[in-house]
Amino acid sequence: MVGLIGAIVGDDFGAIFHEPPPAKELEKRLEAMCSFANANNPDYFIHPVIRATILHFWLAYDHPFVDGNGRTARALFYWAMLHNGYWLFEFISISTILRKAPVQYGQSFLYTETDDNDLTYFIVAQTKVMQKAIAELHAYIDRKSQELKQLESQIQALDFFNHRQVDLIRHALKHPYSHYTIESHRNSHNIVYQTARTDLLDLHVRGVLDKQIIGKKLMFGAAKDLTEKLHKMGKRLTNN
């Protein structure tokens, strides 16, 4: 199995794919890399995204650590992006994309090294990774937006209930397998037995809670379709 996440070194059979520069050169190479990272060289413009991508490759290529070179390289990439104002990358994970396609990640290193360190291969590959990572972020935001719309409907439905019932419903949404008794509801809100009983039976009548009798005690639990019922109630409230 080829080690592809992080600097490429070799496989389980002893084949060498990448041999880092001599350790004695490491200090000067790291100094040069830090100077490049801070845009002190070269004396012509390099787009910040390209610079960050080159830093990613550079650290992995020099392989200064026994372990963690890949993680450090990606951390350096993130630092460079955020340092140059690309704040969106605080919320983007390129590592997730790379883990899904480790072979392509490794090949981008190999193609670069086998073509006199022409970084075009690695830059193009990482550009595609960034595009996929941004697309995944947008998809995540879309999903959360839909969840928020549904939650807003649920919150609107809560206008049907008193504040004690609202507290119980919110708890039931987070803990759908919890059970409630008249006594537990009474203790939670420091109310009399009859008020607690009325609250819970009202929630049962409206379909929010299921009711069962265990022994001589009434037990209530969240309806299986609680979210959907609240959503419908919210719609009715909005339409009215």
Q: Where are the domains of the chain?
A: 23-139, 161-239
- CATH classification of 23-139 is 3.40.50.150, yes or no? no
Consecutive 10-residue averages of pLDDT for the chain (240 residues): 38 58 89 94 94 94 86 94 94 87 83 87 93 93 81 74 92 89 96 97 94 91 88 72
Statement: the pTM of the whole predicted model exceeds 0.75: no
Q: For 151-161, what is each residue's pLDDT tens digit? A: 666 777 788 89
Q: For 15-40, what is each residue's pLDDT tens digit? A: 556 678 888 898 999 999 999 999 99
Q: Which fold has domain 161-239?
A: Arc Repressor Mutant, subunit A (1.10.10)
First to last CA, the chain: 64
Cα gap 158→137, rounded to integer Å:
31
Torsion on CA atoms 40, 87, 78, 85, rounded to nearest 10: 0
Dihedral pair phi/psi, residue 33, rounded to 5°: -65, -40
